[in-house]
Structure 1
Amino acid sequence: MPTMEDIAKKVGVSKGTVSKALNGAPDISETLRKTILETAVTLGYTRARRGAVRTLCVLIENMDYAKPEDFGYDIIAGFRQMAEPSGYSVRVVDMSKEMQRSVSYDTFMLQEGYLGALILGATLNDPWMKEFPTSRTPAVLYDNLILGNPTISTLGVDNNEAIGQAVNALCGMGHQKIGYLSGALGSHITQVRYKSFFHEIRRRKLPSGVSMAGYAYSFSECVNTHLPRLVDMGVTAVLCSSDLLAHTALIRCLELGIQVPQRLSIIGFDDLPFCAHTSPPLTTIRQDRLQIGKSGYYALDSLLNGVPISSLLLHAQLILRGSTGPAPRL
């Protein structure tokens, strides 16, 4: 296990200079601080191993979290509810691609004194995603998967099980032609849900050509392009990759005179607070976000204690409301 003496010897400075650089002392130049931090990371020195600071962070992007109705709010609350009584302080840090390009993940965590991170909203295009396969600082990634690194864990719900619940319910209502709408397939989780949908309908020997699904970068483009096409194909139910997309589909159906659920049943994913108040109320797959946050702490605490958790998946729950009903006779 490398020490500050090892870093000092490698850089050619005193142990006191290394300590100052690691702790943000103002009398160390930025150039020297950067050299010391990068050397510390290269040697494998981490504060997690030294136990110097008990601060965890939530790194977040592409996800609202300021208000109770925001998706990230309860996740962060659940994480805090577990971490703070255990003696950790928690900081929420807005993450951007510019920040990731300016400093490596391990260096950022070391210079800020964070032992580990819960990471929310990261995309496959994020610079740090390329570093996680070999990073040394513990991290739990929500809805992202990194293989082969014992300091990285995946957190989420079992999407295969969740999609299966939705398809089962629709089949039980008599639907035999089910479509799927999604945002762009630029994230791990959108790809997982897309594949899960086709796996589930093929398993039940339902129509499963690629034309049964549609996706686009913006929700309005997706709905405007693919919803009328699916209806014209005789689809009687649509599963959407998110509640926001499902709500957009509800509005478009109203504009097109497509009755929900008499002509078309619609299911969302997440169970955001507004789902109970749409017209009609939205059937959706509920993710218990408070439990996701608590489980994120559990996984991160395990990593910090040398337990290499690979994946932690929670059960999801199908919430039936007024946007789904018996299949129409076409």
Structure 2
Amino acid sequence: MAARVTLQTIADRVGVSRMTVSNAFSKPDQLSAPLRERILAAAQELGYVGPDPAARALAKGSTGAVGVVFTHSLRFAFTDLVATGFLGAIAEELAPTGLSITLLTSADEGDIVPARDVPMDGALLYSCDWSSRAVDFLHRRRLPLVYVDQDPADDIPSVNVDDRGGARAAARHLLDLGHRRIGLLMSGTYGPYGLVGDLHDAGVVDGHSSRQRLLGWLDELVPAGAEVIAARQDGTGLEQARWGARLLLDRPDRPTALLCFSDAVAYGALQVAAELGIDVPGRLSVVGFDDNPLAAQVRPGLTTIRQDIAAKGKAAAATLTAAIARAKAGTPAPAEHVVLPTELVIRESTAPRAEPGEHLR
């Protein structure tokens, strides 16, 4: 078996102290360029890959990683266009800092609780379930945290978008087009699912964004006297969206317009409308939320509410790195709460309400 290569092995080969070799890896600015190159060349020749990451983290008091915690399975981070855009912006913002991203789920996996066990310097909680053990452990670890798409808390920094204002703009757009029978297609992680009776029941939606978007819709629809029919589906996947859309559209008294929780949900509604022979926007107007890349690619192009996903990711990463820096320096500051604007983007999926009778197949 080959002898283990250590810092001292390299120091003996180059003829310098062990500390000088250590500085070549951890404090390169303290060495001349030629000396550091000699040390690194010797390390490569001897097969030394660098200091042990765990030992380095212990010595520096930093893991070099931040967590991004999802309520959904981690597959969501790679398949949802909003989540992937959000993560890409975080990675771009963190690149100059040298911090890496660790993806975690807050879903309860029995004895396995990554949020409890994985080393990290801080974490972004992205639309998480507050009742999960993962969230509880993160708080108990006293890590620097930033809430994203969560209800703000006085002592925790947060980054949100103006979900309620955006939803108001979407509902107002449909009212201005003459629609008065409007369907709401919502999504959630926890039941009950199906047609919704009391939209003011707190259990109708879960999560900050869902709640704010519903409130925004109702801010406009209720004073206008609109007739509202709503359905709640299990999650944001395409099949769930199709199921919810069919509840609203496959009926003789269907709405003339739909307000959808997201563009992904709206896409499912467009598919169901096509299957039922309902022309969009001639007989049905559809509005999404997010303005993810899908919104401009589908036909007809989707009218939606734009949130700046890249700005949200960069703001979240910057807020977290600032919180980590303050924690290391022992200089607490009031929690910062960032709210990013939203914007109505009108495309081809909305049009004036058809004359009475024309909405029927």
Q: TM over 0.5: same fold?
A: yes
Q: Distance in 2 between matches of 1:117 and 1:282?
A: 34
**For 2:146, what is the secondary structure of its paired residue?**
strand
Equivalent residue in structure 1 for 2:349, among 308, 323, 326: 323
Which residue matches 2:142? 136
Is the contact between residue 124 and residue 186 of structure 1 (CA under 8 Å) also seen in structure 2? no
Letter in 1 for 2:224: K
* C-alpha distance 275-308 of structure 1, shift in aligned 2 (>3 A): same
Task: For 1:232 and 1:301, locate their aligned partners in 2 and report how far apart those are by CA, in whole Å.
Answer: 52
Q: Is the Cα–Cα contact under 8 Å of residues 139 and 300 in structure 1 kept in the other structure? A: yes
Q: Which residue of 2 aligns with 1:215?
A: 232
**Counterpart pick for 2:281 among 254, 261, 275:** 261
- In structure 2, what is the equivalent of residue 172 of structure 1? 176
Report deviation, 1:192.
2.6
Q: Is the 8 A contact 2:166 2:216 kept in 1?
A: no
Residue 227 of structure 1 pairs with residue 246 of structure 2:
no
2:102 corresponds to: 92
Task: Kindly provide the CA deviation profile for residues 146-176 of structure 1, in whole angstroms up to 9, marking residues without a partner as x.
Answer: 534x2x3332211111101112222222223
Letter in 2 for 1:245: V
Distance 1:291 1:128 in 2: 26
Is the contact between residue 299 and residue 309 of structure 1 (CA under 8 Å) also seen in structure 2? no
Distance 2:114 2:84 in 1: 27
C-alpha distance in 2, partners of 1:132/1:56?
12
Aligned length: 272
Q: Conserved in 1, the CA contact under 8 Å of 2:287 and 2:302?
A: yes
Deviation at 1:255, TM superposition (A): 1.6
- Cα deviation digits, residues 192-249 of structure 1 (max 9, x gap): 32232212322x42326xx5222121323211222334x715x321110011211111
Deviations 1:261-313 (A, max 9, x none): 11110001112212222221111112221111101012213333233325322
Change beyond 3 A, Cα 1:318–1:216: same
Tell me the percent identity.
Answer: 26
Deviation, 1:53, is 4.3
Instruction: Please point out which of 111, 115, 128 is paired with 2:121.
Output: 115
Q: Which runs of 5+ in 1 are unaligned?
A: 1-22, 26-46
Partner Cα distance (1:74, 1:193) in 2: 21
Q: Does the 8 A contact of 1:299 with 1:312 survive in 2? A: no
Pick one of 264, 271, 281 that aligns with 2:301. Answer: 281
User: In structure 1, what is the Cα distance between the partners aligned to 2:323 and 2:301?
Assistant: 40
Q: Which amino acid in 1 is paired with 2:128?
A: A
Taking structure 1 as the reference length, what is the TM-score of the superposition? Answer: 0.72
